[in-house]
Structures are given as structure tokens and as C-alpha cells.
Amino acid sequence: MDISTKYLGMNLKSPLVASASPLTEDLKGLKKLEDAGAAAVVLPSIFEEQLRAEQHDLHFYTTQGTYSYAESLTYFPEYDQYRFISDNYLELIRKAKESLSIPIIGSINGATLGGWTEFAKKIEEAGADALELNIYFIPTDLNQSGESVENTYLEIIKAVKSATNLPVAVKLGPFFSNFANFAKRIEEAGANALVLFNRFYQPDVDLEKLEVHPSIHLSTSHANRLPMRWIAILKNKIKIDFAATSGIHTSDDVIKMLLVGANVTMLCSALLKNGVFYLLQLEKELIEWMEEHEYESVQQMIGIMSQENTPNPSEYERVQYVKAISTYKI
Amino acid sequence: MEKKKFAVMDGNEAAAYVAFRVNEVIAIYPITPSSNMGEWCDEWAAKGYKNIWGVTPTVVEMQSEAGAAGAVHGALQSGALTTTFTAAQGLLLKIPNMFKIAGELTPTVFNISARTIATHALSIFGDHSDVMAARMTGFGMIASGSVQEVMDLGLISYASSLKSRIPMIHFFDGFRTSHEENKIEVVPDEIMRQMIPDELVHEHRLRALNPERPVIRGTAQNPDVFFQNRETVNRFYAACPDIVQEQMDKFAALTGRQYHLFDYIGHPEAERVVVLMASGGETAEETVKYLVKNYDEKVGVVRVRLYRPFSVKHFINALPSTVKAIAVLDRTKEPGAIGEPLYQDVVSAIFEHYEEGTPKFKQHPKIVGGRYGLSSKEFTPAMVKAVFDNLKLEKPKNHFTVGIIDDVTFTSIDFDPEFSIESDKVIRAMFYGLGSDGTVGANKNSVKIIGEHTDLYAQGYYVYDSRKAGTLTVSHLRFGPEPIRAPYLITKANFVACHQTVFVEKYHMLDNLIPGGTFLINAPFEGEELWNFFPKSVQKQILDKKIRVFYIDAQKVAEESGMGRRINTIMQTCFFAISGILPKDQAIQAIKDSIVRTYGKKGEDIVIKNIKAVENTLENLRELQIPDKITANRDIQPPVPDYAPEFVKKVESPIIAGKGDWLPVSVFPVDGTWPTGTTQYEKRNIALEIPVWDEKICIQCGKCAFVCPHATIRIKVFDPKYLENAPPTFKYTDARDKEFAGLKYSIQVAPEDCTGCGVCVDVCPVKDKTNPKHKALDMMPQMPLREQEAINWDFFLKIPDYDRTKIKVSTIRQQQIQRPLFEFSGACAGCGETPYVKLVSQLFGDRAIIANATGCSSIYGGNLPTTPWAKDENGRGPAWSNSLFEDNAEFGFGFRLAIDKQKEIAINLLKSLAPQIGEQLVEEILNARQKTEPEIYEQRERVKILVDKLREIDAPEAKKLMTIADYLVKKSVWIIGGDGWAYDIGYGGLDHVVAMGKDVNLLVLDTEVYSNTGGQASKATPLGAVAKFAANGKPAFKKDLGWMVMSYGNVYVATVAFGAKDEHTLKAFLEAEAYEGPSVIIAFSHCIAHGIDMSQPLQHHKLAVDSGQWILYRYNPELAKEGKNPLILDSKEPSVPISQYMNKEIRFRMLAQSNPQLAQYLQEQAQEYVKKRYQMYKHLAEMKIGSNGQS
């Protein structure tokens, strides 16, 4: 049984990829994932804000109150060099490349154009096999048009692409007025894959403190319908690869995503919940399903249920519950 | 020959540079102004730098200077090349070992940045009182007068000591040399190798104690032999001067820089000669050269390099035979002596020379002695000239002073402050900045740029405020084509920069600007508006002196460049653009290069923003077209209001205005006594924003006042009748507590005293239900509120304080009504110590006597010009004093002994006078319980009656009793200090004092570092924290002081963290004071040295407690008496991982950013320790204790 797949120009032994999560943040975790059968790993995103904040914190807190009073002109010793999160990140890539044989996908997360995009180059130099560009931007400016938001995304993609020769996958949210058009423009901007979709951490309200907190919940299978739809719609209409992410918990979820057109499936919540060796089970069940349904390879499966290939393409365009019910009545 | 290497550094770095290279063991302890030498060595060792033999010296911090001296002595005796650094009291603590080290002829060098010994007051600044106190230890003494000399003579000291076996004090002037940056030629390692030959090192090692060839030293000798034995060293001292000269000659052959034991500079036929040492010698030398060159005056100077052993022969040889009058200048004072030490040596030397019978002088020179420069008092060419002028007199004034006005004993000689020898070739620039705006950092950078990257020479010296928040800094920079030898402040600047707009309204900055000079100001105004903003005298000076004025809105440029409030790069760019030191393009490129060098390691983003700021600056810098007339009708305001007391106006006001140098002797108290409560008159207006109270939603919890570090947010409860003349914007509401029914409640901010730290807003628990952004306290811009709130504050102060006897002090909401008797101190904005100090003042201030260890709390508590310890409306308040760093527990213990003794005498007298006074009153006084406010109030009333009665009794006992009747009212003794005192230098005393069982209260303000000297590690520093002297992270666990003290069983011990549990803090303070025995409160005090957001510090308290890093408990021996377990654990099981706490503070995170593996390891260790420690306390707290106190 051939369960290999291709993603971002890489040959992967299976479509089961560990997406960015605490499980991929250190070498120990990465090795465990490889042992459990992950076909590739995506390192946790390094955030644009992190890169900036860390520098500013260090500078601010080591200089505040200095040169004010004659006895305490400074408060900290000075080092010749400082290691930043970014240095540790690059070190992780280097070490991972030394000790793992599966591909390592670096990940950066940002929302504005800036020097941080240069970090893509460093990720390449550290030995990563590919890069996931995670763009997370909540436009709140009443005067900013949707088009300008999209243009910002495209500029970031272009900036990152020009900084590196690595294949770049773009991970983003679904909230665009015409995602199909935007996906096409992303492809034109040079992206090599789309990772659909980013799960946003949604804010929550603390009723006692009257404060807003970010809340983090693990996904459920239910969350995979949205990426499923859009991968299905876009498959083959644009030529880039697709990675399905969000709500992939069971082998059924994996299979469905492959069928609608995903080249790989990204797993996070399922592994956090069930442990990394759950990958072995998923792989086993995938193979069983393929045997049962007489597929010889994953390649054969990918995209057969895309909008283009499905006997009833309009199903992917349904938007209303009412309509679905009435159809049922008929 | 190798190209000469030049570098810009200060004296401390130069001393450390040599010391690190020619030593193997370095024992250190922080004390200003020498701490930096130890810091450099620790940092270099942490980075693995090597000495000239390829070995990284071992740098070890000890618990005190005495400890460092002991370790040095031991290391020397065991064969290592060993050194140390210190100053002032630190040197005094080393003296016992110094006698031993010298007595055993052990080569070493103690590098001393000479500092004033505390007498009537402490001073961190420079003079020779410390080294003079050590002059009879047997150490040789070599004096350096400049940064270059520190490097050169430092090396010569080590070489001479090894060769002569005489240990050396190598000293230079604290601050003036230790902190002056200058461009110097660095001595290459190869030359150091040649100066420190291996065979001498080998000989030193052979003398070491070694069981392979055992000997003993340190025997005890008796009258029969000690004396003779002591005389055996004579030949070593006799040989020493020639050895030192030999080393100086050897050094000259290697470097071209020649020194002599006594360097004479001046006219070959000089008739008037000044003798002095250290940096004053530089000034005298330059002045002599000027007077000889320009006026052919027959004057000269002898600069003493080797002071001990004093070589009469070399000294006499140095003097010209033509000399008729000699003035010997000492930078120290020896009250009661015939004259100061150097004067006496010179007199003796000349006398002995004459005694030999063949005097070299054409006539017997007159010799006078004078004092100068105590505590870094300026010593200028004008003063040198005045000394020479004195020598011209038929009968020169002897035992004079120069640099002050002595209108009491008339010792001072006059000088002309306008006399100047500054060269036209030197650009002299002064910069007035705010501590927090980065001015000094930028100027240090400019000195480096010019000094290290051009052929020009550069000098930088920085004058700081006596406060820690909102401080003025004045930078004095000189640049020129020749080496700059001017160890005195600039008074004739050709460039003055004002980095904060408001300074122009406060300080007379243009006084020091020469005609035609340039003035640069950061201001948000332009053109006419800017001109009109200048006070009258500023406008006049601009017109009279034809000053060019440049301006920039640096704040705006900073914000646009993403720099926040840091305007340093912007103002630095302006300076380079205007001053013409370098061609503009070259200058700008140099700044940009320097930005990359300075900030590159801290990240690209900082570099990008700074470079952007440079570019934006050039576009925004403008020259003001000067109008032809004065338009202002207001002028620079006097620093204190007219209603201030006479002493404040006469003495403190000039100090605030920077005119303290001109205050004459007569205005000062003779014994260091100073009035309390004078910070209230110094309206500093340093807050950009102040809290604004919303009385409608406030729940009157009192937390804001509790946490306020500066006592600038106050609460009053009062009768509505006092509102009669309330200003229209004065806020109040109904008091909520049932005990206050019918009364009004007000929270008022002192707008001009607030530092704007925001901690009150951070703690405020109340959010507006309809607008959660709005709290019961919000920070709002100070400027628009200043006038209105100042009126409200004045009104608020006039409302009488609520009766203390009616306040329920056990809850914060009521306790905070108590008036703070510690207010508006010079502590950092957001200080974590002062809320505790203030709490003591509120609860017990009217009966407190406080011993304060040297450190932050003694500085913000007692540094002039004004004093924060205050009085209540009855004129009572804390009586406060600082003795030393190391003796504070003992000092406070002495208070208790004296109070108890006087109380005992009073009781005896009272009893003996009972028939006359009346038995009932006497009985009531003797048996009064004085535990609560009402009880103390009643006792005071009884004593008042007693004193009235005593007036009527005609007996000597009655008069005696009247003088001490006060002691019949309870006195609360507080012994306050930081962890450096309690855990380290003063631990022995603390331990002894608590063991004595007397009723004293020790408050340990535990910032977990030596905060006042810049954050050096103490034994309170937690594992893994980066601090100075622990550049690789503290490798040991924090000492559990509470645990150790608890072991006595009869000591009340509590640990508190007000940001975690404020009510617990209050309870602990009340219990500690109520306990009639020794009490120790260890108070978690967040600190700027932790690298935290000082506007939101309380989360750190909470995390420290929640993670188990800081365990809250109270150990109350009273409970044991009741058969209960005396230990009450007030902390819950650790609920968050230690990493969550550690990752919040830069002191821990820095290690992860330099050595992640070590940081990770230490964090794991810390986690393990925290768990175990909590379990240990839990186990103890849960033990069942029997009625006899046994488990």
C-alpha cells in the first residue's frame, strides 16, 4: 500500500503531518513524533511580535532607571551576545535536521511588512525544508478596505518569497469576501501551498474581572467542514498544494480531506488529546480503509471528491440550512 | 613596534583592566564608587576572559569588605596573586587584615577609589579620608591623578609590590577619576608580562603556606620579642621607594610614559610650590603650566605619586632650590591634628632635611597646609591660583580651606570663580537631561565615538541627582586635539543642551554658556512660541551673549521613530549636527555605526528604530530666529514656596537650585542634625500622569494609599463641617464604613509630588460597571490638572486628621486613614520598599525611633536636600538615623538599651517622687498597658499631667524626671535595612541582636540584591537570577533568613509580600510590633533591578507567592505560650510552576538569553527546591505542639 504523498515539492511517507503545537517545540517532542510516524513536522510559529517584543523587553528593562543616580548607574551585567527566541528556534531547526530524517517545516507568523520577514532566510540557512507563513491579522480599522487587507497579505507573501528559496505554504483564516479569488492571487504571489484554515484563538470575557482573556480550546471534528469545503472548491482550480488543518481527529477526517483534495493533513488537537502515538492508529486505519475500498495509493485518492470531480458540484456551494432541509423534503 | 591602542574608559575600568590581567584571585564586595571594578572583573570572568598567564581569575563576592580582606589574606598566604577593590567604610573594614598582610610582607594591591568616610553625614563622593585612615597599616600608597595614570600606576603598583614585598594601596579620586571617561593609551598585555616577571611570582608562591614545606605564621608574641621582631621589616620599607622608582623607569622604557615618586612640574626657579596628590595634581599641573607660560610666574607643583613609604630624599630632590613658600594641600580633614597628614609629612621632611645640615634651599621655605575638595568639592584652576596667591602674602594663611566659604572660623581663602585656563581648542559641552531619557548613555556614546574612532581626545563626566526618580543629570563633555587633563566641571561651555523642556523654567543653564555659544533645546514649540516660553533671564542671556538657539521636538521625533520616550539618539544627533566637532556627514555615519555597535546585540529592531530616529532628527532640527527684545514677564521660579520654613528657604532651597556650593559654613548644623519633613516643600512635578479618583464608584478599600510608594495618594475621613470652604473641584463622598456614619471620605493626590508610577491604578480593584476601561482611579495627564489639584491638595491637608484612637488599624480600609509620616521620598517611581516603610510610619511613626542601614532606604530616607521623614499635627514623628551598613542591628539595639535605661531611671524617680506627684497617678503610669492607640494616647495624657505636676515640685529629682518623662510612653524601635545588610554584611549583628531578646523590630526590605549600589547579588538573591557579581546567574539557593532566625524560638518572624496579600502584611506588622521581644519581618520588595514593569509590580508579588518562591508565614512565640504551634503558614501550596514566575522577570530571563542550558538547569533546581521547601514549612506548621511548647 502506498500512502506517500507530495507536499511543497517534498515526498512524504504519509499524509499525516504534525502541525505547529507544543509537541513540536523541542527536539525531544520532534523525535517522538518521528518515531510515532509523522511524515513531517511543522515547528511552532515564531511570531513577529515575539521577535520585536523580546528585543524591546531586554533593552527596556535592562536600561530603565539607569544613569539616574550615582551609586546605581546600571542594574545588570552586560553580555557580549544575547540569545533570542529566534536563535533558539534556529538552533532547534539545526538540531532537528541533524537528528531527524523527516522534513522540517519552519513557521513564521506575522501581520505587517517589516524586517522580520528576513527571518525566513535564516530559517532556510538553518536547514529547514520548507516554510509555513502564518498570517494572522484581524482588521479593525473601519476605513480599511477588504482589498487593502488582501494586498497586505500578498505583499507579505512576496516579501517572504523574495527572502527565501524555500517552498512557502501560506496558512490563513477563511474570512475574505471571495476566498477563491484571493487564493488565486496568493498563488500568483508565489505561494506553493495553502494551509486551510488557521484556527484563531478567540477572546473570551472574564465575568468576574470584566477582562478579556484569550481562550484556547482544542478543536473537534466539527471544525473540519470549513477547510473541507474550500479545499474541495479550490482543488485543481489553482495549482498549488493544499494542507488541511483544523478538526482532523479521526482517520475518517484524514480520508475525507484527502478525497476533497488535501495533499496532507495537519494534526494538532488530536495528538494533544490522544498522544503522539495516535498517529500509528490513524495510519493503520487509513491503510485499512484503503484496502477495504481498494485504493492502492493516497495519490489515487487525492481530490476525487473535489468540486471539480464530484458528481454534484453545487453541494459545495450550499450556504443555507433552510435550503438543505427543503432539499431533504424533496 | 605594535600600534598604540587607545580606548575610552573610566578610572574604575582602567584599574580593573590591570587588576584582572595580573591576578588569579579577586575578592570583591560592592561599595560606591568602587563597585564597578568588581563588576568588570566578575563580568570578564563570567565571559571567560584570561589574565596575562592565560588563566581566568577566580572572582568571588564576600559578605563584607572585612570578608573580602580575609579571603584576600588567605589567598595571598596560600600563594595566589590576589587583589581587591574598595572605598570608604569598606577600606576601614579591611584595615585589620591590612595590618596583617603588611606585617607579613605580602605583595598585593588594593585598588581604592578614594571616598569620604561618613562623619556628621554619609557621602558617596571622593576625598582621601579613607586612604588616610589606612596610612598606618604598613601598606605602601600610590596615588593616581587621571584615568591614564590609574592604568599606568596601577600596573607599577603591582610590579613594585611583588618586587618590594610591600603591599600597596593604589588610590585615585572617587567619582572624579573613578567615573571620569577619558581617552587613554591602553597598556598591552606584553608590557604587563614584562612588568610582572615570573621569578617574582615564583618567589611569592614559595612563601605560601604549604603542607609540603610547613611553617606557621600568625604566632602570638610577648613583650620580650614583639618589638624587635616588628623592626625587622625596616629594610624592606627603606628599599621600597627605589624599587618603585625602578619600576616607574622600567615602565617608561616600555611605554614612554615616565613617572617619579614626586613629579615636579613648573618654573625651574619656582618660589611658590604646591604639594598634593591624585586628581588635584592634574588641575594644579595644568594651572602651573598656564601661569608659567602666560605670566612667567615662578610657581610649581609637586605631585606625590608614592605617599607611603614617604621618601624624604626623593621629595627634597624634587623641590627646586629656589622655593620660598610651600602650600601642602590635603583632601581630607583630621580634626584636632596640627595639620592634615600630607602637610605634616612635608613639614617633617623639610625639618629633617635641615637637620641633616646641608639644606638645598636658598632660604628656609615657609610651609602652610590647606584642605580642599572634601566629598568631591570642586577643585579648579581658580582655586589653585588662589593657593598660589596666598603664598605670595607676607604671612600666608595656614590651615586654610579653599573652595568653600568659612564664615565661622574663617579658614577659607578667596578665589575668583571667573578665572579659567580652558583652551580655545577644546569644545566644551553641557547636557541637561532626565535620568530616564537616556542623555547620559548617549553622551557616553559620543565620547566613545570621538575618542575611539577619531584622532581627537575626549572626556566625559556626569553629575547625577540625589534622587532616584525623575532625576536631573548634567553631562560635562570635552573634545579636543590634545589629551584632556581637566578634572573639574565645565563652567565655560560653548554648547549647552536642554533635553527636557521644563528644565528651562527651573535651572539657570545659560549661566555656564560663553558669549556666542550655542544652546540646543528639546521643545514642542517653534519660533515665537518658543521664544515666549523662555523665562525672562533666559531671554536676556540669549540676547546679551548673542547665543545661537537650535530646537527640535525630540519627543515627537522619538514617537514617530518608534523610540517611545527615549530621546537620547535624537539629541545626540543634534549635537553632532550643530557642534561641528566632525564634518556633519562623517558625524552622522559615526552615530549610525555606533548604534549598530551598541544595540546590535540586543536585536535588529532597536537598531532600525535608532537609525530611523537619526534620519528623522536631521529633518526636524531648526535654528531659532532670535527676536530683538525680551518678551517674557515671568522668570525662573524659586525652588521652594515662600511659606516654607526659614531653614528650608535658607539652606535647602539653594541646594535644590544647584547653588549649594555657595552656602557658607555658618548656615549648617554642627553635628549633622537636620529637620524632618521638608520634602513637602520641594515640588518636583515629575509625573507626566497622575491618578484621578472617581468617588462615585470607589469602594473605599484603601489599597491605593497602601501601595503608594511616595505617600502621594491620601485618604481622609472627616466631619462635613470642614467642607465649608472646599474648592469647587475638591472630591469627596459619604464614608462607607459604619463606624464613620455621617462622615465624609476623600482620596486626594498630591499632584506635584506624585511620580506617576501608576501602582495605585494597578491595585485598584474597582471597574466601572458600565465602562470597564474606567477604574475608580485612572491615570490622566498631570499638566492640565496640576493647578487645580494643588489647590485641592492644600485644602485636603488643612482638614484635621481623623482621631487615631478611633481607627480600626487591623483592616487596611481604615488603617490607611492614618497619616503617613514618610512622604515624597527620592525612591524610584514604583519602589517596592517604601510602601512598607510608610506603613511603619503610619502605624507607629509618632513613637518610632528608626535605625536605618546604609542602602536605598537610607538614601531615599536621608539624602539631601530635603527629608521625607515627617511629623504629625502634634509635632511627633519618627526620629531617624543611619549609622553604618554593617552595624544597623546593633545601632538600633543601642536605641532600645538607652530607651529602656532611661525608662528605668524615670520609673525609679517616679516612685521616689510618688508622694509629691500623687500615688494614684504614679500607679496609673506604672501599670499602664500600652498596646493600642487609645492606651498609648491615655499614657501620653497622664505623662502630660505628670510633667505639669513636676514643674510645681522643687526637687532635683523632679527636674531630672522632667527631662526623661517621655520615656514612660512606649517607644517603638525599628531597625530597617535591605538584604545586603540583613543577609550579608550585618547578619552577624542581626543574629546577635535578635538573640538578646529585647523588644526591637527588624524590617528587612528584601529586594534580593544590593539595589542601591546597582544590583549586586546578595545571599538573598534567588537561584538562577542574574545580578552583578552573579553574571552567570546566582548558583546558590536564597538563604532562608526567616528559618534561621526562627530557630531561636523567642523571635517573632514573618515574611510578607504586600502585592500578594496586603492584609497579611498589615497583620504581620501589627503582631511584630505588639510582640515584646525581637521581631523580624522579611518583606518581599520588587525592585527596578529585577527588570520588571514598575507600573505593574504587584503581579510579581502574587506570582512569587503562588509559585512558592516566596512563602508567607508568621512565627509568633506568643502562640507557643498558649500551647499552640507558633508557625502559621499563610501561603497555599504552590499553584503555578516556578517558570511562570521566573519568565516574567528579566533578571531570570537574561540567563536564558545568555546560557539557556544553565538557565534550564537552574530553573529545574529551583522548582525542586520550592516544592521541598514548602513541604518542610507545611510539615512544621501542621505539627501538634504541647502546652509546654514541646512537640
A123-149 pLDDT, tens digit per residue, is 999 999 999 999 878 888 999 999 999
Spell out which residues of chain B touch residue A121, defining contact as CB-CB under 8 Å.
none
Cβ <8 Å between A79 and B440: no
Strands B1113-1115 and B1127-1129: antiparallel
Q: What is the pLDDT of residue A311?
A: 80
Q: What is the pLDDT of residue B598?
A: 84
Catalytic residue among B36, B1012, B1021, B1055: B1012
Per-residue model confidence as pLDDT tens digits over B66-97: 999 999 999 999 999 999 999 999 999 999 99
Please return the burial class of A89, using the count of CB atoms within 10 Å of its CB with bins 0-12, 13-18 and 19+: buried
Looking at this protein, which amino acid is placed at residue B249?
D
Rg of chain A over CA atoms, in angstroms?
A: 22
| Nearest residue to B29 via CA among B93, B95, B100, B76 | B93
Spell out which residues of chain A touch residue B864, defining contact as CB-CB under 8 Å.
none
Q: Chain B: give the shortest CA distance to residue A203, in Å.
A: 16
Q: Report how far residue B177's alpha carbon sits from residue B1160's, in angstroms, rounded to the nearest whole number.
A: 41
Within B65-125, strands assigned E span: 82-86, 109-114
Provide the mean pLDDT of chain A: 90
Cβ <8 Å between A61 and B1146: yes
Spell out which residues of chain B touch residue A69, defining contact as CB-CB under 8 Å.
435, 464-468, 471, 859
Q: How many CB atoms lie within 10 A of CB B1144?
A: 18
Per-residue model confidence as pLDDT tens digits over A267-277: 999 999 999 99
Q: What is the pLDDT of residue A318?
A: 67
Spell out which residues of chain A touch residue B179, defining contact as CB-CB under 8 Å.
70
Helix B381-392 with B279-295: angle, nearest 10 deg = 70
Q: What is the pLDDT of residue A325?
A: 45
Residue-wise burial string across A131-155, b where 16 or more C-beta atoms lie within 10 A, e elsewhere? bbbbbbeeeeeeeeeeeebbebbbe
B32 is catalytic: yes
pLDDT band, residue A39 (cuts 50/70/90):
very high
Dihedral angle sign, alpha carbons of residues B33, B35, B41, B46 = negative
Percent of chain A at pLDDT above 90?
Answer: 66
Looking at this protein, which amino acid is placed at residue B1001?
N
- C-alpha triplet B497, B501, B504: angle, nearest 5°: 70
Instruction: Answer whether A88 touches B (CB < 8 Å).
Output: yes
Q: Is the pLDDT of residue A211 over 90?
A: no
pLDDT band, residue A326 (cuts 50/70/90):
very low
Instruction: Answer whether A68 touches B (CB < 8 Å).
Output: yes
Spell out which residues of chain B touch residue A62, defining contact as CB-CB under 8 Å.
1091, 1146, 1150
Per-residue model confidence as pLDDT tens digits over B849-876: 999 999 999 999 999 999 999 999 999 9
Spell out which residues of chain A touch residue B1093, defining contact as CB-CB under 8 Å.
61
Q: Chain A: give the shortest CA distance to residue B506, in Å.
A: 18
Q: Which residue in A has a C-alpha nearest to residue B1014's C-alpha? A: A72
B272 is catalytic: no
B1073 is catalytic: no
Backbone torsions φ then ψ of B759, nearest 5 degrees: -65, -30
What is the mean predicted confidence (pLDDT) over B946-956? 96
Q: What is the pLDDT of residue A210?
A: 82
Q: Is the pLDDT of residue A323 over 80?
A: no
- C-alpha triplet B1173, B1179, B1182: angle, nearest 5°: 140
Q: Which residue in A has a C-alpha nearest to residue B603's C-alpha? A: A55
Q: Chain B: give the shortest CA distance to residue A108, in Å.
A: 17
CB A183 within 8 A of CB A234: yes
Q: What is the pLDDT of residue A216?
A: 72
Q: Is the pLDDT of residue B1097 over 50?
A: yes
Bond preceding residue B865 cis, omega within 30 of 0: yes
The beta-carbon neighbor of B1028 closest among A57, A61, A77 is A77
Q: What is the pLDDT of residue B1187?
A: 52
Percent of chain B at pLDDT above 90?
Answer: 94
Strands in B25-28's sheet, in edge-to-edge order, are B58-61, B25-28, B82-86, B109-114, B168-173, B140-144, B306-308
Cβ <8 Å between B1012 and A72: yes
Provide the mean pLDDT of chain B: 96
Cβ <8 Å between B1013 and A82: no
Q: Is the pLDDT of residue A322 over 70?
A: no
Cβ <8 Å between A70 and B1088: no
pLDDT band, residue A202 (cuts 50/70/90):
confident
Q: Report how far residue B1062's alpha carbon sits from residue B742's, in angstroms, rounded to the nearest whole number.
A: 28
Q: Which of A52-66, A108-122, A192-206, B306-320 has the lowest mean pLDDT?
A: A108-122
What is the mean predicted confidence (pLDDT) over B1055-1072? 98
pLDDT band, residue A212 (cuts 50/70/90):
confident
| Nearest residue to B329 via CA among B349, B361, B304, B294 | B304
CB B1005 within 8 A of CB B854: no
Per-residue model confidence as pLDDT tens digits over B626-677: 999 999 999 998 899 999 999 999 999 999 999 999 999 999 999 999 999 9
DSSP-derived 3-state class of residue B912: helix
Cβ <8 Å between B124 and A70: yes
pLDDT band, residue B877 (cuts 50/70/90):
very high
- C-alpha triplet B870, B873, B877: angle, nearest 5°: 35
In sequence order, which residues have a C-beta less than 8 Å from that of residue B1077 and are 6 or more positions away?
A: B997, B998, B999, B1050, B1051, B1052, B1117
Q: Report how far residue A281's alpha carbon sits from residue B389's, in angstroms, rounded to the nearest whole number.
A: 100
Cβ <8 Å between B859 and A75: no
CB B674 within 8 A of CB B866: no
From chain A residues 215-274, the ones with a CB under 8 A of any chain B CB are none
CA dihedral B854, B860, B862, B866 (to 10 degrees): 160
Spell out which residues of chain A touch residue B1088, defining contact as CB-CB under 8 Å.
64-65, 75
Q: What is the pLDDT of residue B2?
A: 58
What is the mean predicted confidence (pLDDT) over B1098-1106? 98
Of A224 and B63, the structure prediction assigns the larger pLDDT to B63
Cell of B179: 567615573
B222 is catalytic: no
Q: Which residue in B has a C-alpha nearest to residue A114's C-alpha? A: B605
Looking at this protein, which amino acid is placed at residue B206?
L
pLDDT band, residue B692 (cuts 50/70/90):
very high
Catalytic residue among B65, B149, B297, B1145: B65
